Structures are given as C-alpha cells and as structure tokens.
Amino acid sequence: MNHKLKVAFICVHNSCRSQIAEALGKHLAGDIFECYSAGTETKPQINSDAVRLMKELYGIDMEKTQHSKLLNEIPPVDIVITMGCNVECPNLPCKHREDWGLDDPSGKGDEEFKKVISTIENKIKERKEKAKREI
C-alpha cells in the first residue's frame, strides 16, 4: 500500500486530547496513518500535563514535534475523529467520521489524564486494525 490514510484528530482547542491522539497515532500507527490534529481555536501551548505524561509514558516530546493548529492548517483528510466536543465540534469533509466521546482531562489529576491517554491508545490500535482490514 503506497497511500497512507490521512487522519485528523479534532477538538475545539487542539491543546490536549487531539494532541495526545496525534502523537500516539504517529507513534503506534505511523505505518498506516498520516496523523494531524487541529481545532477551531488554538492555545498558545499544548497542555503541560499532557506533555509531561506523554514524555513519561512514551518518551514522546509533543512540544518538539507538534503545535496547536487551526482546521485550515491541515491538508484534506480521509478520516476525521472528533474527541467528544459535541455541538461545537468542527466539521471537516472526509470519507469516514467517528466521535470518541472523551472527557477533557485538562485541570484534573494525572489519573484522569492517564485514563484518557490509555483510551486513546486503545482506540488508535482498534482503528489501525480496522484500516488494515479495509485496505
């Protein structure tokens, strides 16, 4: 397969859940997916707890490789995955869309963050398996 599926992880601020998903998507499924994240608004920096925990758990430094982006800064994508921001969720044209319904852990303790990170990891692995079968 020479064409990677382009996946966009979308939430309103593009500072926490979607950034974690972009990092884990590249880390766990970079062979199948080209991963992006974006939002309708941006934050000056990625959530510091998310950055710290991703370093601790996976050795990934999101501040080095990622930044908060707006929807118009990413290319057209095949799959849009929204993080669970319901009504405010931005709309992007795509072939497939799903919502992961994740609670925003911002401002909460490490346990909440780790729960969300682990859910994202599992969902990316599931999505990768599905994509492999569909190819």
Q: Is the pLDDT of residue 87 over 70?
A: no
Return the exposure string of 16-29: e unless at least 16 CB atoms fall within 10 Å of the residue's CB, then b: bbbbbbbbbbbebb
The pLDDT tens digits for 89-98 are 566 788 999 9
Of 118, 101, 107, 88, the residue nearest 12 (C-alpha): 88
CA distance 95 to 115: 29
SS3 of the chain: helix, strand, coil, percent, to 5:
45, 15, 40
Domain boundaries defined on the chain: 5-134
We find that the CATH architecture of domain 5-134 is: 3-Layer(aba) Sandwich (3.40)
Segment 3-29 mean pLDDT: 95
Segment 29-33 mean pLDDT: 96
Q: Is the pLDDT of residue 110 over 70?
A: yes
